Amino acid sequence: MTEYIDSATFDHLVSLAALELDAGQAEYLRRELNHQLDAIRELEAIPLPDELTITSHGVPYPPQTSQPPRADQVTPWAQPSAILDQAPQVDDDQIVVPDIPHTTLE
C-alpha cells in the first residue's frame, strides 16, 4: 500500500479537523486513509475530455422546476427555549463557551 499521507500530513489534517486522537485511533485512521486513496487511484486512469464540465448534483435544475428563492426575511422561531434547552451551557438565554486565549501573531 502506498503511503500517500505521512505522519506529519496526518497530524496537520487532524488539527484542521478539530480532532484529538489517541495513538490507536491515529494508526487505524491513517492506514484506512491510505487504503482509500489507493482505491481512489482508479480515477486517475479515466480519460476525461477537456471540455467535460463537473456535476455537483445529478438532476438538472431548469427554471421551470426550480423553486424561487425564499424571501430574505427573518422569521422568529416560536419556541426559542426548545433550542436553548439543547445547548450544553446557557446563561441568561446566551450560550456560554470558554474563551479563545490571546495569541500573538508573528
Partner 1 sequence: MELCDLSAHELSRMLRRGDTSAREITQACLQRIDQVDGRPGSLEAGEITAEDRQRVHAFITVTAERALAQADAVDRKLAAGDDPGALAGIPVAIKDIFCVEGTPSTAASRILANFNAPYTATPVQRMEAAGAITLGKVNLDEFTFGSSSESSAFQPSPRNPWNPDHVPGGSSGGSTACVAAGEAPLSLGTDTAGSLRQPAAFCGVVGLKPTYGRVSRYGLIAFGSSLDCPGPVARDVTDTAMMMQVIAGVDPRDATTANVPTPDYLAELEKDIRGLRIGLSPDYFRISIPDPVSGEYIQRDLPAEMYGSVLRAANLLRSMGAEIIDDVPMPNTRYGIPAYFVVSRVEAASNLHRFDGVKYGHRTAQPMNDLRKLYRVSRNEGFGLQPKLRILMGMYVSAAQYSEQYYNRALKVRTLIRRDFDQVFDRSGKYRLDALLTPTTPTTAFQMGAVYGDSVMMQFADQLTVPANHAGVPGLSLPGGLDQEGLPIGIQLLGPDFSEDVLLRIGRAFERATADDDWRQVKPRVLR
**Single residue of 3, 6, 27, 32 touching partner 1 by CB under 8 A:** 32
**If binding means CB under 8 A, how many residues of this protein chain bind partner 1?**
59
Residue where the block lists cell 434547552: 85
Q: Which of residues 77-106 bind partner 1 (CB under 8 A)?
A: 79, 82-83, 85-89, 95, 97-101
**Single residue of 65, 74, 92, 105 touching partner 1 by CB under 8 A:** 65
Secondary structure element (H or E) that encloses residue 7, with its range: helix 7-16
CB-nearer residue toward partner 1: 67 or 106: 67
Are 7 and 30 in contact by the 8 Å Cβ rule? The answer is: yes
Residue 90, strand partner residues: 95
Residue 95, strand partner residues: 90
